[in-house]
């Protein structure tokens, strides 16, 4: 495959940062764009544009001279953040997404990948912990997660319209909960694997941690290296409709806590707080179509992926114990 000039938006964030490294290693010239530099490690991008992508002029500057766009920039976080900041999330992401689609057309890019989410799936299909894995076609008729999920579903459709009406080749990827080193682990935007790892790292052997809900809610979690490999494979494919990208290894949150504790070599007691945000009761990915299209699916088990994740978070927690980092969530 010939080397491309590639743009990764959200290159200052968790998945975008790992994706930049993956693309540079694959031989591409990469421009990263984000309103901030990566927090925990320098970017491998050949060029980094620090800019607010809600401004259409910045979207144009980001896409100038670019062959392929991986659009990952988003105002996002775990269930605590996305249920607390619906107006900001829906507004910021809609502005960014439309600006990026217009700029991609104006700059003549040859492919545009949009990072959607499992949060597009209807609430009524996720009311049981023993959930039926979600297939791509389940997204309609729609009843997505308020704010964040609705905005993702809207942009999925915008990709379809920009493809059919304006000739922009698009790819749409629905990520299921992604974790790994260099992911947000504190400040209010963290997701369950990072939050639980931080809590376990900060408690002594035999201690107690707070777990949101009764812990019997279910999810599947995807390690970040599988995520970036999947993104790359989907971009290279000819498939234009939305595709799940996740694992189908479903666990309860209590099982997640036990796995993290085992990696840490600690015994941990769980204190369940049922007043905290819990999101859907159960969620799992049906990977049939992903396997059909790519002949590939994520392979890292949760037990394997938690080892490097926990090791990295434990190191951060120990390093910042005396100097807590500021909250990332607006007051």
- Site residues for ligand NAD per CB under 6 A: 10, 12-16, 34-36, 52-54, 72-76, 92, 96, 115, 117, 175, 177-178, 184, 191
As a dihedral over the C-alpha atoms of residue 148, residue 152, residue 154, residue 157, rounded to 10 degrees, the angle is: -170
Nearer to ligand NAD, 10 or 242 (CB): 10
Q: Taking CB within 5 to 8 Å according to partner kind, which of ligand GDD, ligand NAD, none is near residue 15?
A: ligand NAD
Q: Taking CB within 5 to 8 Å according to partner kind, which of ligand NAD, ligand GDD, none is near residue 8?
A: none
Nearer to ligand NAD, 172 or 263 (CB): 172
Q: Contact, 255 vs 216, CB < 8 A?
A: no
Which residue do the tokens 């992604």 mark? 178
Residue 327, Cα to own-chain centre: how many angstroms? 20
Q: Taking CB within 5 to 8 Å according to partner kind, which of ligand NAD, ligand GDD, none is near residue 78?
A: ligand GDD
Give dist(CA 84, CA 6) in Å, integer: 34
Among 211, 235, 290, 300, binds ligand GDD (CB under 6 A): 211
As a dihedral over the C-alpha atoms of residue 150, residue 223, residue 43, residue 321, rounded to 10 degrees, the angle is: 100
Give dist(CA 83, CA 212) in Å, integer: 14
Nearer to ligand GDD, 101 or 245 (CB): 245
Q: Which stretch binds ligand GDD (CB under 6 A): 28-36, 46-54, 165-173, 211-219?
A: 211-219
- Sign of CA pseudo-dihedral 171, 172, 174, 178: positive
- Whether residue 70 lies in the annotated active site: no
Q: How far is the CB of 53 from ligand NAD (least distance, A)?
A: 4
Q: According to CB under 6 A, which residues from 105 to 164 bind ligand GDD?
A: 117-119, 148
78 binds ligand GDD (CB under 6 A): yes
Catalytic residue among 81, 148, 179, 185: 148
Q: What proportions of the chain, in percent to the nearest 5, are helix, strand and coil?
A: 40, 20, 40
Give dist(CA 253, CA 244) in Å, integer: 21
Would you call 327 exposed, middle or buried from its count of C-beta atoms within 10 A (0-12, 13-18, 19+)?
exposed
Give dist(CA 153, CA 143) in Å, integer: 10
80 binds ligand GDD (CB under 6 A): yes
207 binds ligand GDD (CB under 6 A): no
Give dist(CA 219, CA 194) in Å, integer: 14
- Sign of CA pseudo-dihedral 158, 163, 164, 167: positive
Q: How far is the CB of 118 from ligand GDD (least distance, A)?
A: 4
Among 13, 133, 279, 298, binds ligand GDD (CB under 6 A): 279
Q: Which stretch binds ligand GDD (CB under 6 A): 3-11, 93-101, 184-192, 298-306?
A: 184-192
Nearer to ligand GDD, 54 or 219 (CB): 219
Nearer to ligand GDD, 212 or 223 (CB): 212
Q: Which stretch binds ligand GDD (CB under 6 A): 14-22, 132-140, 159-167, 170-178?
A: 170-178
3-state secondary structure of 245: strand
Would you call 78 exposed, middle or buried from its count of C-beta atoms within 10 A (0-12, 13-18, 19+)?
buried
Q: Taking CB within 5 to 8 Å according to partner kind, which of ligand NAD, ligand GDD, none is near residue 10?
A: ligand NAD
Residues marked as catalytic = 148
């Amino acid at each position: 495959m010939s080397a491309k000039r590639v743009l990764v938006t959200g290159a200052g964030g968790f998945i975008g940062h790992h994706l930049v490294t993956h693309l540079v290693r694959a031989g591409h010239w990469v421009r990263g764009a984000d309103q901030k530099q990566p927090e925990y490690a320098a970017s491998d991008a050949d060029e980094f544009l620090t800019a607010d992508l809600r401004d259409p002029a910045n979207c144009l500057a980001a896409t100038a001279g670019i062959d392929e766009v991986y659009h990952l920039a988003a105002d996002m976080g775990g269930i605590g953040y996305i249920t607390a900041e619906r107006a900001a999330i829906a507004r910021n992401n809609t502005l960014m997404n439309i600006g990026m689609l217009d700029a991609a057309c104006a700059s003549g890019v040859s492919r545009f990948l949009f990072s959607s989410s499992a949060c597009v799936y209807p609430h009524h299909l996720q009311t049981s912990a023993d959930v039926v894995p979600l297939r791509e076609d389940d997204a309609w008729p729609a009843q997505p997660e308020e704010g964040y999920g609705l905005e993702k579903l809207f942009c999925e459709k915008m990709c379809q319209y920009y493809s059919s009406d304006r000739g922009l080749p698009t790819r749409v990827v629905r990520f299921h909960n992604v974790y790994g080193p260099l992911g947000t682990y504190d400040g209010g935007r963290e997701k369950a694997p990072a939050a639980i790892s931080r809590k376990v790292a900060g408690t002594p052997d035999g201690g107690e941690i707070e777990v949101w809900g009764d812990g019997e809610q279910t999810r599947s979690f995807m390690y970040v290296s599988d995520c970036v490999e999947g993104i790359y494979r989907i971009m290279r494919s000819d498939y234009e409709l939305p595709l799940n990208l996740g694992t189908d290894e479903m666990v309860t949150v209590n099982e997640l806590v036990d796995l993290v504790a085992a990696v840490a070599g600690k015994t941990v007691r769980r204190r369940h707080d049922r007043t905290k945000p819990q999101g859907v009761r159960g969620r799992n990915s049906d990977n049939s179509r992903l396997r059909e299209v790519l002949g590939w699916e994520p392979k890292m088990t949760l037990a394997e992926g938690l080892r490097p994740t926990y090791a990295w978070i434990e190191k951060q927690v120990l390093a910042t114990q005396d100097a807590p980092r500021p909250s990332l969530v607006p007051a």
